[in-house]
Chain A
Amino acid sequence: MKKFYGKILWLAIALALTAGAAVAKDVDWATLNPGFQGATYVKDSSVCFGCHGDYEKPYSHTAHAKTFKFGKAPANGDCESCHGPRSKHVENPTRELALTPAQQTAACMACHQGSNRMSWGSSLHASSGVACTSCHVVMQQKSERALLATASEADLCYKCHSNVRSSLNKSSHHPVREGKLACSSCHNPHGSVTPGMLKGGSVNETCYSCHQEKRGPFVWVHPPVMENCQTCHDPHGSNNRKLQNAKEAFLCLSCHTYGGHVNLPRYNRVSSPYGEGCVNCHMAIHGSNSPSGAKFTR
């Protein structure tokens, strides 16, 4: 284990030491759009705002504007770092050099391909034709964080995922509509190695980021719990209590047929038709550390 950590540490240091020899990605504008062939950088944003003055003030409040102004100035000028060399556009201001969403994405990736966007190219969103500008607006601050195209992150996601809006409005739900959680609390919209673009390495790892008390590990394990929380729960919302996929006893009855009281939604030796069903007695259903917890009644 120590050797593993040591190797990781050395790799990180090696990357840091070689960092100085490399620069951020360059965009091959002429390949993106042949119209850029022969164009040069103007490197003077006042020229751009001379025609596009409406954007100047809202843009000035954004993180890009401030980073370009106070951080390291972009080599190709404020506007042209993202919009490409604009000498030809200044000479002949048409929409010939307007970038398609895919081209805009290539421009964004020149700086933003790292961190949680590493898997963008292989993500479900990318393969579905979603571009950076599908969700983000660079020229003005519409949301509190992340330069989203809408004030609320959830409203942005609902534009394509209206089924999730329906689920989150159900009686049992995570507090997304109350503003305490966001879609990005569990998902990485830029892509991840996990199906469903989850932030964790698996469904369970994602759930455990908030529900650490369910993490265990336990002495007595409930196998479908350990494998996938979604076996029993719908994290987006449910008309059943506690985000359950089925109503109380019927959920357990889809797997358990031991005999006797186990096999029926009502058998008068137990209280499963009221209270919370089977967990009236089997309350440690996520796993147990009690030596007498084999059936999760302890």
Chain B
Amino acid sequence: MKKPIITAALVLLVPAAGLSMEVTGHVSAGGQVVDNNTNSSKFNEYRDIKDGFYLYDLGLKSETGTGLFLDAKGKNVGRDDQNIFLKGGRYGRWGVSLEWDEIIHRLSNRAQTPFNNEGGGVFTVPANVPLVSDGTGASGDGRNLDSNAATMQGNDLLASDYMRDNVHRVKLENDRKKATASMNYSLLDNLKFRLTMSNEDRSGNKITYGPIGDRPPRSLNIQFTEPIDYRTQELKFETDYVGNKVQANFTYLLSKFENEIDTLTWENIYTNPAGSAGSGGTYEFWNDTVGAAAANFFPRNVATFGRRALPQDNLYQNAGLTLGLDLPLNSRLTAAASYGLAEQDETLIPYSTNGTLDSVAVGDGLAWNDPAKLPRSSADAEVETKLFNLDYSINPIQRLNLRAYYRYYDLANNTPTEEWRYVTGDTMAANGGVTYLNKRRNLAYEYDKQNYGLDANYSLPLWASTLGLAYGREEIGREFREADTDENIYRVSLRSRPANWLSFRTKYQYGDREADHYDAEAAHSTYWYAPSEANNNIDSGFTFENHPDTRRFDVTDRERNLFDFQVTASPAETLDVSASYRYRKDDYDSKVQPSQPLLHYAGGRTIADVDRNAFSPGDQVGLLEDERHFYGVDMNYTPNQRLRFGAFASREQAETLQRGFEFNENNKLNPSGIAAAEFGPWTRENMQWTANVKDTTYTVGADVGVVVIPKKLNFSTNYSYSTGKVEIEYAGWGTQTDPPAASFADNGQFGFRTPPAVRNVRHTINANVEYALIEDLTVAFGYMFEYFKIRDWQQEANTPWAESVAGNEFMLRDTSASSQWGNRLPNMGSYLAPSYQAHVFSLGLTYKF
């Protein structure tokens, strides 16, 4: 509804603005025909090119002779990516502007889902998958879903049939519509005020997932849509003073975000398995078998609906003041300070939709869907930020510029910490219990950062050159993270102009970051169970959360080398050529040594000496290296006023190396117990794997503009090509050729190998001919061809470890077809934004007045 109103208002402005004013402008309108062979959403991911007539471009300038003006601009008026801008005022004194802007984000035109959106974030299904049990179970009632292979695969076919029979198309996209009003006023020549108000509505949906189940093997998951219904309202006030020696700027921002939908609730698509009891109806009961003995059955209560909180309403304020002082000796001091406050106090949903009563033995006997069970009823979340910056520069002698700076940024998290006993995936033991590992505290992560340093730039008496030297230091202190970090940064730069037609600049930067005592046990703070409560050997609270040799790359040692070179040449007045090279290497080698993470074990379980004294291999785990090269060349040639030619080409390659380490998490405390097992201990070196990733991008472009007949006929064309390739070379544990001795089958539990390269390529050609029918009226014919192709092993089931069930893209599973529910993924289709070829023909008229 809004689009026709806005379009009409814009058109009416033309005659209205024309009263008593000098009016100039232009209107470009026409029609388009689009042929997109796969109707892929990728073609219109962020734009709205489609069949039909529309206003491409609208511009209006109107002025009185006394300084009053009114400008109006419109692009793609009436379409999902339109922009309309109106501004009026008096030059140099005051102005009022209004802007309406829309951004579309299309994710898929081919997604399908069995869910019906009931509104309010509730998603239901018209039917359920009638699962079948293999007849076993704790009470023999046939509700066991940890079935034998044949039953499991039979259920897979039922799920596949269900998806085929019940899915329907759903448009997967979201859009932003933003209205902005701004007023600026110059109280004095050097004192200005500006007030900006905006309202942005974002609506549509995006991809999400709905796992129900307490552990991965028992996790019933489905890919579906998450509704988006956001509103952000902002108010910004700014005042700016520019004096002879003093400048000041004050800003205040108030931003209020609201989500009209508080929670996402989705129905479990699976029913109780057919059996003697509990058959049909809703899904409540599930057994986990380890062998056939009744003592090995561990019943779970599984919810009929899953629920989680969606992005919550929040309020953000920020006030900042910046001062600039011009001081003696051609020096300048800039000081800035700002304070930010983010708050969120949404009412919390209960732990679960599941109404099972909590175990009295270890809990409070309340139902898990009872809000009274929560340690507090609302989020009470708050974060403060403080920023302080000082910058002083001086030219003590003619050729020398010195600059010293200090910056402090502090993020304080004032969200209270509580002790929670959460439910995983709305599923708990039949007696209401959850694992002791679910006793967790929410930690108020926060940090502060200081940057300070000195820059010097000296103008050399040769070739108009400037030599720069700089030293900087960054110190980050963190709460509840593994390490604080300090980094020394050194930089040398040179820019020079050896000749009027030739200039270059180059820079080398070295950074040496050190982690101050990497504490792998930092995560212990999040657990609050007593040692006596740990009833198995996972016990992350008293052993370790992550493998002891892991170093998280954002908080560990890093050596960075960065080199930059660019040369620009203008050998003729009509020709510019530039070339650039950029190199960066991050080395995260943290000199990890073998460690004994259990040496001071203080938990309540029995630990053998061989395990207490066990060493990790000492090979660093995590991201190890990141190396990047960029090469680029640009050229612009304008031999005369009727011809211009431009071209560019670039190659970018990023290569990273990471190491992983697989181990059985159930044996953190007793690695010796599985020393020779296939799924082995954290102490065994041959459990490691590596991934060497090469990410390569080529970009090429050219454009030509020709004035065929001056003031009569113009021709322009451009071509761009971009291709990306991501190759992951996987080696070590999981491949078929490396230890352990029994090679892993692709369809086994752990088999993995180097996957096919991910590739994408895009060609775009545009051609336009403009012919002036009369002086102010031009007809334009345009043609665009766009080709996009993508191949991504993750988006299709053609790898050794993933397959479609019965060839149905809406039901994926691991090729092992094992009784592990967690690898089943009912989904909305493969390649939601597939390859395409598109042709666009356009014909338009432009009238200037």
Residues of A within 8 A of B (CB): 4-5, 8, 11-12, 15-16, 19-20, 22-26, 63, 66-72, 111-115, 118-119, 121-122, 127-129, 144, 158-160, 162-163, 165-167, 169-171, 175, 178-180, 193, 195, 201-202, 205, 208, 212-221, 223-224, 226-228, 231, 239-240, 246-248, 250, 253-271, 273-277, 279-281, 283-284, 288-295, 297-298
Contact = CB atoms under 8 A, between A and B. Distances in A.
Contacts of A170: 697, 722, 724
B242 A24 contact: yes
A129 B319 contact: no
Contacts of B545: 258
Contact of A16 (B187, B493, B623, B734): B187
B257 A212 contact: yes
B802 A273 contact: yes
A24 B326 CA distance: 13
A122 B334 contact: yes
Nearest to B75: A179
B442 A294 contact: yes
Given A69-B91, A216-B344, A271-B823, A119 B334 contact: yes
Given A122-B391, A219-B442, A291-B374, A25 B250 contact: no
Contacts of A223: 445, 478, 480-481
Contacts, number: 462
A294 B257 contact: no
B623 A254 contact: yes
B413 A19 contact: no
A105 to B, nearest CB: 13
B622 interface: yes
Contacts of A208: 316
B842 interface: no
Contacts of B650: 162-163, 165-166
A221 B445 contact: yes
Contact of A239 (B240, B665, B725): B725
B217 to A, nearest CB: 5
Interface in B757-781: 758, 760, 762
Contact of A201 (B385, B724, B794, B802): B385
Classify the interface of chain B: helix, strand, loop or mixed.
strand
B442 A220 contact: yes
A71 B91 contact: yes
18 contacts: A19-B243, A71-B90, A71-B186, A114-B247, A118-B336, A162-B650, A178-B46, A205-B340, A213-B311, A257-B661, A259-B664, A265-B752, A267-B662, A270-B823, A274-B827, A281-B221, A283-B209, A297-B424
Contacts of A264: 660, 662, 689, 734, 750, 752
A218 B334 CA distance: 34
A74 to B, nearest CB: 10
Nearest to B102: A180
B314 interface: yes
B730 A166 contact: no
Given A201-B387, A281-B221, A70 B242 contact: no
Given A8-B321, A12-B239, A268-B748, 12 more contacts: A72-B92, A112-B242, A162-B634, A166-B630, A171-B790, A219-B348, A223-B480, A253-B660, A273-B799, A274-B802, A292-B352, A292-B426
A168 to B, nearest CB: 9
B241 A180 contact: no
A239 B794 CA distance: 13
Contact of A163 (B409, B632, B660): B632
Interface in B301-346: 307-309, 311-312, 314, 316, 318-322, 324, 326, 332, 334, 336, 338-340, 342-344, 346
